[in-house]
Amino acid sequence: MRLLETSTRKLVEKTPEEMRKKYISYAILSHTWGPDEVVYYDIIQGTEDDRSLRSRLKVQNACAQALIDGYQYIWIDTCCIDKSSSAELSEAINSMYAWYRDAAECYAFLEGAPDALETAEQKDEFRRNRWFMRGWTLQELLAPARVVFFSGSWQILGEKKTISPLLARITGVDEMVLAGERAVISVSVAKRMSWAARRQTTRPEDVSYCLMGVFGVNMPMLYGEGGECAFLRLQEEIMKHSDDQSLFAWADLDVPPEEPRGLLATSPAAFAYSNSMLPYHDWEPREPYSMTNRGLRIQLHLTGRDDGLFVAALDCPVPPDYRDSSFLAIYLRKLSGNAGEAGREGQHYARVQAGSFGSVQQRGRLETIYVRQDQRRPVNEGVFPHHILQLRNGPSANVYRVISVLLPRVNATDDVSQPLSLRQSARSWVPDPLPLAFPLLKGVGQLSAAVVFERDDGERLAVLIGSIGGFVLAFDAVELGDEECHMLEDLVDDFEPSAAGRFEREHHSVRVSVTSVAQGSSKYYLIDIGIEDIWRSMRVGDMLIEATDELLSRVTGTVNRGVSQVEPVEEAVSREQAENEEPKKLSKFWRRFRT
């Protein structure tokens, strides 16, 4: 450990053994960095005077205060760490909590703070000081037994114990912890995270690195990995030392409800509302949870809901009342297997509705599940032994009825795989015995199936399902008129594959969407089809105008919306014939749109 002599402001090295044997005590400084700090090489090379007066005075006053208090040494991070050495920096960061804990006294210098805490205005100015918003100063508040706060002019404001009520309101840290009556390590993981939720650091990774000591873990420094990766590593280290499930009791209000997430948070900010989260005592046996190459493996009690989601009970009571037999819960969506149905070990899930919690008293069945942290790579993507197309939702059979599902002749008589069990069967619009599920043919422009619809007026439409290439699904919509089509091969030349979406045709607008679900060795593509009769809606207006013009012409002798014309004899005869046909035309028009 490198220390600064308070009398000479020279650096000295002390081994841990020497510190113990000689009972060397030291003071330590807690402060926020400015743009022009006195650093290690300034002390070594004697270039302190090149730094700003503010920085020089901070070091000088800290040394002077330590000397007055009887300390031969003081530790100041800016001066005592050679930041040019990544190895030394990593060691220092991993040791820093212990150094603050072992210090005889910590001087918390709050630059710009008032000289007293007597009035409401002074306390408010104290509360808004930058020291309370920095990440590193949290451990500097928690670790030392004795912390003395100094104003910007180095006036004593009070000790941590004596002003603990004010500090508790500012930081969210329990008074008992600040007063030294309760150990930091005994506080729930979620609550400790909440203390850091609104703190900031210059480098994004330091948000996690500054919390290692608070959770009693160590990990290597990897600057450049990003704040999210560093925080995930921190949580993984915490899981190795604690089974406190309040680690999963976070809420991110900025995440859309349907967006899939992992069980671990992406930053301490997600714990801003978790200050009251507590774990139950270790009252029942359960397997340890850990991160694997399939995601986080954990046992949770799951209860299925009617909307297909699962309520997963955490081993935590529900705040703020903590009623007996209450369990805090989060919401999960199943990514593999049948939606809304638990029961198989090792299924993949994702957290949804990540901005809210639930509560249960009956916890449901205990399941071993996997939750991938990176939900941008869904578990059901990739190659499976079987790839199966399955019809799920379709148009109303009252308007568009399915008259055939055409398959390649090679598969027409095959025993097609059983369809995935869904809450709502496609049998409501696909009549028995037409197949609901069939294999995906893989290859460029391969046509796997055609679903042929017949409108209530006899007009026919085929929705084609195939692939662009490999395992990429493609679709098309072909208007057949009143033609019959009995073989899929007759539609191969018409197949122009494109991605799922909307297909605008002359008389129909077709919408196709697909959702993939993994079940055992099979990957199912659940296909939803919607059809809108745009020809009919357009023809209604045209035929009404046409019929109105014809009626007006019979009464007034005018056509084309009131423009008077003199009719030749031949046209008058033609009009008379048309008048004789008019009742038939109107009768046919209204009969067609009566229902």
Stretch 264-272: mean pLDDT, rounded?
Answer: 97
- Residues 262 and 295: beta-carbon distance below 8 Å: yes
- Residues 525 and 388: beta-carbon distance below 8 Å: yes
Stretch 47-73: mean pLDDT, rounded?
Answer: 93
What pLDDT does 322 receive?
93
**What's the token pair of residue 26?**
């030291």
What pLDDT does 50 receive?
81
pLDDT digits (tens, 9 = 90+) for 347-365: 899 999 999 999 999 999 9
Listed residue (101, 103, 105, 108) closest to 157, CA to CA: 108
Q: Which residue has the higher pLDDT, 54 or 585?
A: 54
Domains delineated in the chain: 2-186 (no CATH), 245-371 (no CATH), 386-532 (2.60.270.20), 536-592 (no CATH)
pLDDT digits (tens, 9 = 90+) for 3-13: 999 999 999 99
299: left (phi over 0), alpha (psi -120 to 50) or beta: beta
pLDDT band at 2 (very low <50, low <70, confident <90, very high): very high
Decide if pLDDT at 78 tops 50: yes
Instruction: Identify the top-confidence range among 421-425, 550-554, 559-563.
Output: 421-425
pLDDT digits (tens, 9 = 90+) for 427-478: 999 999 999 999 998 878 899 999 999 998 889 999 999 998 778 899 999 9
Q: Which residues contact 145 (CB under 8 A, 6 or more apart)?
A: 101, 180
Percent of the chain clearing pLDDT 90 (strictly above): 71
Decide if pLDDT at 539 tops 60: no
**What's the token pair of residue 222?**
């990897």
Q: Angle formed by the axes of helices 120-127 and 164-171, to 10°?
A: 50
Q: Which residues pair with 360 in a beta bridge?
A: 327
**Does pTM surpass 0.75?**
no
pLDDT band at 568 (very low <50, low <70, confident <90, very high): very low
Listed residue (364, 444, 437, 362) closest to 405, CA to CA: 437
What pLDDT does 380 receive?
54
Pairing outcome for strands 460-469 and 73-75 = unpaired
Q: Which residue has the higher pLDDT, 485 or 72?
A: 72
pLDDT band at 557 (very low <50, low <70, confident <90, very high): low
Decide if pLDDT at 246 tops 80: yes
Nearest-5° angle of CA 148, CA 153, CA 155?
A: 40
Decide if pLDDT at 585 tops 80: no
Listed residue (425, 528, 532, 537) closest to 475, CA to CA: 528
Q: What is the DSSP string of 338-370?
A: STT---STTEEEEEE-TT--EEESS--EEEEEE
Stretch 33-41: mean pLDDT, rounded?
Answer: 91
pLDDT band at 591 (very low <50, low <70, confident <90, very high): very low
Residue 223, class by beta-carbon neighbours within 10 Å (0-12 exposed, 13-18 middle, 19+ buried)?
Answer: middle
Stretch 147-161: mean pLDDT, rounded?
Answer: 97
What pLDDT does 338 receive?
52
Decide if pLDDT at 565 tops 50: no
pLDDT band at 486 (very low <50, low <70, confident <90, very high): confident
Round to whole Å and give the CA distance between 51 and 27: 23
Stretch 523-527: mean pLDDT, rounded?
Answer: 93
What pLDDT does 344 receive?
58
**What's the token pair of residue 540?**
């209604």
pLDDT digits (tens, 9 = 90+) for 192-208: 999 999 999 999 999 99
Q: Which residue has the higher pLDDT, 156 or 379?
A: 156
pLDDT digits (tens, 9 = 90+) for 400-419: 999 999 999 865 445 456 88
Decide if pLDDT at 394 tops 50: yes
Instruction: Identify the top-confidence range among 79-88, 369-378, 435-444.
Output: 79-88
The sheet that has 147-150: what strands, in order across it? 11-13, 2-5, 73-75, 26-30, 105-109, 147-150, 156-159
